[in-house]
A and B are shown apart, each in its own frame.
Chain A
Amino acid sequence: MIITRSKDPEALSLALARHRKVALVGCGLCATTCETGGEKEVRQVAVELEAAGKSIQAELMVDGVCHKRLLELLSRKEKESLAGAEAILVLACGSGVQTAGEVFEQPVFAGVDTLFLGQIRKHGDFREVCSLCGDCILGEETSICPITRCPKGLVNGPCGGAEKGACEVDHENACAWIEIFEERDRKGSLDCLKEIRRPRDHSRHTQPGRVKTSRR
């Protein structure tokens, strides 16, 4: 799940300074779960922008702003209401914002900040566990990703800085390598950790990425 965080309402008004008539597009997928771009949040942002003097032309939802075909369908269906908009504010991740940029005529604005690929631990509690490195090493050795959960991304951890099991960079987090060690100890496979791991091959994920599968 892509985790997003709402932008400050004042910052949004400032970004939209040159546009009075605004349409809002929210996302029924990740942004709804994060409570940053669901129907409720779209309504709330509409209220805030109206208070700041904007004229809201439409409040639209789509199940995946990043889904270009769906967004094109929406854009055709809502042609009339969108016609009056000078700008589109998108409450969805950067993938959604850029798809909107390809579909709509008007300038599009990001209404949220895209943070990370997250695990949903429980309602409202999201943790980054995967950094989309393109070369997944999870398996025999560990089910805890050191590249993501260690701020230094150490594949041969630990560093020397943990204090009482807490990461030196953020004391709220446990040292990922201590967690890996304890997990392997519990599962009786500490020997796996003795092997020296190679440096990451960053060419496995060169930005911007692209995958094209063939239709079956």
Chain B
Amino acid sequence: MTSFEKSLQEGRFTVTVELSPPKGTAVAALVESARSLFPHVAAFNVTDNQSAVMRLSSLGAAKCVLDAGGDVIFQVTGRDRNRLALQSDLLAASVLGIGNVLALTGDHVTCGDHPGAKPVFDLDSVHILEAIRELNSGRDLAGNALDGSTSLFAGAAVAPDYEPFDLQWMKMEKKIASGARFFQTQASFSAEAIERLARRADAFPAAILAGVLLLKSPAMASYINRRVPGLNVPDEIVGRLASADDPLREGMAVASEQIARYRGICHGVHLMTAGREDLAAEILDPR
């Protein structure tokens, strides 16, 4: 059992932090960010060509963080690889000692820096979860027996602000039925939406980690409202950042407040600090 899974099993308020691999081979900063957060964080999510921007693969980056001593959540999307490659990579993850996987559909290539690339989407997130379940059982998706199975703890994402919510919930049930045992939510600034999700999920064998995004500036909040699909920053918070003397510290305060609110509602939080991992410790434990 991974230490991340153990933390959830033991009912501890579990914190995960998102790390973005470099666009290149310079991994020192990534490893250092992780190291500095070891005592505070149960596991580090390593993103997979996030927003369809080409970066060091999540498999390679996850291995670097694992070697440095941290538990990792290997993020895998259906955008870039077909079912052969995805299963291969899941086997590789297992061999390399990676124990947690987050199965995602993936942002479309058009929003990234290689917009002419062929979008794959051979498997959706539900299928990726099925693949993990099969590989864990010693079979591949075509029913062939494996020479050595995996032992992966699988999770998925959910968008708490999504409307119609029943449709998103329907998908979430499919993910749980396919083996997802933890969910990291998209960042949300609506406590009501997170609560609604947590209440519905209570009867299911899945832990909920609420997504918390650090807003670094009013410009970032505006950008999100204009350009980032499925994420919305309420006017009240944009206003707080705009009128603050130190918008970054205000953004940290907003994040800390959210985390405090989620303590009673969720099994943990998934913190996204958008490059400012150095501030994560203070957000989690504000002075």
Contacts and interface: CB of A to CB of B under 8 A. Distances in A.
Interface of A: 151-165, 168-169, 177-178, 181-182, 193-194, 196, 199-200, 202
The binding surface of chain A is classed by DSSP as loop
Contacts of A200: 122
B110 A169 contact: yes
B230 A155 contact: no
Given A152-B108, A160-B186, A163-B230, A196 B121 contact: no
Contacts of A178: 164, 167
Given A151-B108, A178-B164, 14 more contacts: A154-B124, A156-B125, A160-B105, A161-B230, A162-B229, A162-B230, A163-B229, A163-B232, A168-B108, A168-B229, A178-B167, A181-B164, A194-B174, A199-B124
B177 to A, nearest CB: 7
Contact of A158 (B121, B123, B167): B167
B267 interface: no
Contacts of B162: 158, 160, 162
Contacts of B159: 160-161
Contacts of B105: 152, 154, 159-160
B168 A158 contact: yes
Contacts of B26: none
B126 interface: yes
Interface of B: 78-79, 83, 105-108, 110-111, 119, 121-127, 130, 141, 157-159, 162-164, 166-168, 170-171, 173-174, 177-178, 186, 229-230, 232
Nearest to A193: B170
Contacts of B229: 160-163, 168
Contacts of B163: 164-165
Contacts of A162: 162, 229-230
B11 to A, nearest CB: 27
Nearest to B162: A160
B245 to A, nearest CB: 32
A178 B162 CA distance: 11
Nearest to A180: B167
Contacts of A169: 108, 110-111
Nearest to A151: B108
Nearest to B160: A160
A150 to B, nearest CB: 9
Nearest to A147: B121
A180 to B, nearest CB: 9
Contacts of B107: 161, 168
A160 B230 contact: yes
A176 to B, nearest CB: 12
Contacts of A163: 229-230, 232
A151 B119 contact: yes
Contacts of A181: 164, 166-167, 170
Nearest to A197: B126
B126 A196 contact: yes
Given A162-B229, A163-B230, A156 B177 contact: no
A168 B230 contact: yes
Contacts of B177: 196
Contacts of A196: 126, 130, 174, 177-178
A154 B56 CA distance: 26
A194 B175 CA distance: 11
A181 B174 CA distance: 15
B230 A156 contact: no
Contacts of A164: 163
Contacts of B110: 151, 169
Contacts of A182: 164
Contacts of B79: 152
Nearest 7 pairs between A and B by C-beta? Answer: A160-B159, A168-B229, A161-B229, A156-B126, A181-B167, A169-B108, A152-B121
